[in-house]
Chains A and B, each alone.
Chain A
Amino acid sequence: MGEVNPFIILIAAIFTNNILLANFLGMCPFVAISKQIKSAFGMGVAVTFVMTLTATLNWLVYELVLEPYNLEFLKFLVFIIVIAAAVQFVEMVIEKSSPTLYMNLGVFLPLITVNCAILGVSLLMGNREYSFIQSLAFGIGSGIGWWMAIMAMAGLRHRIQFSNVPKALQDPGITMLIAGVMAMAFQGFAGIVNI
């Protein structure tokens, strides 16, 4: 797939192939942290940052270490370790440079380690045989796409805060329904670009 323009990948990852609404990855924090717009924003920033960082790091590890030694079967293990180390590193940097942001993100930051959207991006770019630049674009795009989706959900949940939702459907139930409708709406972007 060497010929796909990285910019196309970026746009596609945000809209047509949104990691959350097309692949339904990273649902757990999407449902849990979309109650308030402010925390959703913090989570979105953190996910975007970690996704970009781990997409590039994992690409390097995959191309420079795993492929030369025919060790592709180790990728799950290696990717997860790299993601864990990257999150730990980001946590240390943020704690040192901005205690305020650190406090705002709170427990969301370490939880990104087990966000399946992050691992999903690393695995998908391998399957699609992206180049380094394409992987970078895919990482940024997927992050922004996830960020946008959680912000939209937080906004919608804020609006229905006082709506009369049937008891059995409150909170996670109605959120899943809305996510489904959002996913359908995002299908409207299909065909603009494709990857």
Chain B
Amino acid sequence: MQLSTILLAASETASANFLTPILVMAVIGLCLSLLLVIAEYFLANYGECKININDEEERSFVTEGGNSLLNILSDRKIFIPSACGGRATCGFCKLKLPEAGAALPTELPMLSREEVKNGTRLICQVKVTSDLNLHIPQELLEIQEFKCVVGSNEDSTHNIKELVLELKDPDHIGFIPGQYIQFQMPPHIAKGEQRAYSIASTRNEDDGKKVILNIRWGFGGLVSTYVSTLKPGDEVIITGPYGDFMEAETGAEMICVAGGAGMAPLRSIILDLAKKNSKRKVTYFFGGRDQEDLFYLDTWAELEKSMHDFSFVPALSDIKDDDTSWTGERGFVHLAVERYINERCESDPEQLEGYLCGPPPMIDGVIAVMTAIGVPEEKIYFDKF
């Protein structure tokens, strides 16, 4: 050991005694860092990995291993739905990937037994360490990134903002009413964070050049708090459209139920029905605590007159018994739905279709009530958030 002879020599010289501990520490530090660098090189180096997409040569690419598949794909402008931003809590970024190994414990709550068996993974939890063959459905490959400018950001209610985005590049979006977009946080505030918001504007509203979102804020959420502070002229980036919550074109009577920001996709769907001059019977139940929670009331009043058979039924849960200023439904919205189907609905429950969007307890309550009456579960479409 040459180093040890140098050290010994140093320590033997009386004048250099104080140098010995410094030298020893330096050598130990150096050796350990060297060891870790070598370990890093052998253990954390995955080399180049080829990502093959749908066996299409022009989409396939080679990338540096070690990153999550979701991030690698989004760097390549391939946007797989993900509402939670890569924390395995939304369960949207599912792809079949048998060659990437078994699902991690963090993913299991989001996967069914069948999906675990057939090798479905949440790709935000898949670290790319080898070549992969992906099969990405065509509609996901059509998802685009849009640069937008905030047109307006006004209060709809005390806790819901109506955010209007003007699309700049590309300058229009094609989507099916009921779908959602992902709002990307600017990298200097929270890199990689994104949240899903349903589109409240409808097909070809303003020629698809604007997107309207209903955003609930005031509960301390990172993204919603940021969005609530946006001002006209601010630049933002969204991706989309995503999602399969949309109208099934059957002609059956529709029971729509929403609460809070769940308003958005149903506004889009119902405005689209109005535009198509649809003959479907539509009843739209909207749950809230008191009158302050209701919004877009002018739109609904107008549609009740102009549409073939549409009614808007707000149900408020916090109205006092002696308050006579409210003449509509009282109590939770799922009970209003139950009363309607049992007492006034002319269609056979088996012929009804449910379209639900709102907070999970509300959705669960409405699904329970509707299935108990006899609405087939597969005809209840919902979007929980």
Contact check, B32 vs A104: say whether CB atoms are below 8 A apart.
no
Known A92-B44, A99-B104, A103-B106; 12 more pairs at CB < 8 Å: A61-B28, A66-B24, A69-B21, A71-B21, A74-B24, A74-B25, A81-B29, A85-B36, A88-B36, A89-B35, A89-B39, A99-B127
Contacts of B44 in A (CB 8 A): 92, 95-96
Q: Mark A72-105, 1 if CB is under 8 A from B, else 0.
A: 0110011001100100110011011001100110
- The proximity string for B residues 36-65 relative to A, scoring 1 for CB distances below 8 Å and 0 otherwise, is 100110011000000000000000000000
Chain B residues contacting A74 (CB-CB under 8 Å) are 21, 24-25
B102 interface residue per 8 A CB criterion: yes
Nearest residue, chain B, Cβ from A88: B36
Contact of B32 with A69 in the complex, beta carbons under 8 Å: no
Q: Is the CB of B7 within 8 A of A100?
A: no
Q: Known A71-B21, A74-B24, A92-B44; judge A85-B35 contact (CB<8 A).
A: yes
Interface residues on A, range: 20 to 34
Question: Is there contact, CB below 8 Å, between B32 and A65?
Answer: no
By the criterion CB–CB under 8 Å, are B40 and A92 in contact?
Answer: yes
Taking a contact as CB atoms under 8 Å apart, the answer to whether A100 and B24 are in contact is no
Knowing A69-B11, A85-B35, A85-B36 are in contact, say whether A92-B43 is a contact too (CB < 8 A). yes
In the bound complex, do residue A93 and residue B43 qualify as a contact, i.e. CB atoms below 8 Å apart? yes
Find out whether the CB atom of A89 lies under 8 angstroms from the CB atom of B36. Answer: yes
Measured in the bound complex, the distance between the Cα atoms of B21 and A99 in whole Å is: 40
Closest Cβ–Cβ distance, residue B147 to chain A (whole Å): 36
Q: Which of B301-318 contact A (CB under 8 A)?
A: none
5 contacts between A and B (CB under 8 A): A65-B28, A66-B24, A69-B20, A95-B44, A104-B105
User: A81, B24: Cβ atoms under 8 Å?
Assistant: no
Note all chain A residues with C-beta closer than 8 A to B106: 103
Please tell me which one of the listed residues A61, A92, A103 contacts residue B39 in the complex, with CB atoms under 8 A apart.
Answer: A92
- Chain A neighbourhood of B40, CB < 8 A: 92
Question: What chain A residues lie within 8 Å of B20 (beta carbons)?
Answer: 69, 71
- In contact, B104 and A69 (Cβ under 8 angstroms): no
Identify the B interface with A (CB < 8 A).
7, 11, 20-21, 24-25, 28-29, 32-33, 35-36, 39-40, 43-44, 101-102, 104-106, 127
Q: Smallest Cβ distance from B95 to chain A, in angstroms?
A: 17
Annotate A49-71 by CB proximity to B: 1 below 8 A, 0 otherwise: 00000000000010001100101
**Closest-CB distance, A54 to chain B (whole angstroms):** 12
**Bound-complex Cα distance A74 to B44 (A):** 32
Q: Tell me the bound Cα distance from A78 to B21 in angstroms.
A: 11
For A104, the chain B residues whose CB sits under 8 A away are 105
B32 neighbours in A (Cβ, 8 Å):
81-82, 85
What is the bound-complex CA distance between A100 and B108, given in angstroms? Answer: 11
> Which residues of the partner chain A approach B101 to less than 8 Å between Cβ atoms?
99
In the complex, A4 Cα to B105 Cα: how many Å? Answer: 44
Report the minimal beta-carbon distance from A82 to chain B, rounded to whole angstroms.
7
CB distance from A101 to the nearest CB of B (A): 10
A65 & B24 in contact (Cβ 8 Å cutoff): yes
A74 to B21, CA, bound (A): 8
Which residues of A sit under 8 angstroms from B35, Cβ to Cβ? 85, 89
Closest-CB distance, B45 to chain A (whole angstroms): 10
Partner among B7, B21, B43 whose Cβ is within 8 Å of the Cβ of A96: B43
A108 to chain B, nearest CB (A): 14
CA separation between A104 and B24, bound complex, in Å? Answer: 37
A77: min CB distance to chain B, Å: 7
Smallest distance from the beta carbon of A80 to chain B beta carbons, Å? 11
Q: List the B side residues contacting A82 at CB < 8 Å.
A: 28, 32
* CA gap between A65 and B25 in the complex, in Å: 10
B7 CB contacts on chain A under 8 angstroms = 69
Bound form: Cα–Cα A89–B25 in Å? 19
Task: For the complex of A and B, list the 7 residue pairs with the smallest distance between their C-beta atoms, beginning with the closest.
Answer: A85-B32, A92-B43, A96-B43, A103-B104, A71-B21, A103-B106, A103-B105
Closest chain-A Cβ to B368's Cβ sits at a distance in Å of 28
- Distance of A71 Cα from B40 Cα, bound (Å): 30
Task: Determine the residue in chain B with the shortest Cβ distance to A100.
Answer: B104
* Nearest chain A residue, comparing its CB with the CB of B20: A69
How many angstroms from the CA of A85 to the CA of B25 in the assembled complex? 14
Give the complex CA separation of A103 and B36 in angstroms: 21
Which residue of the partner chain A has the closest CB to B27?
A65
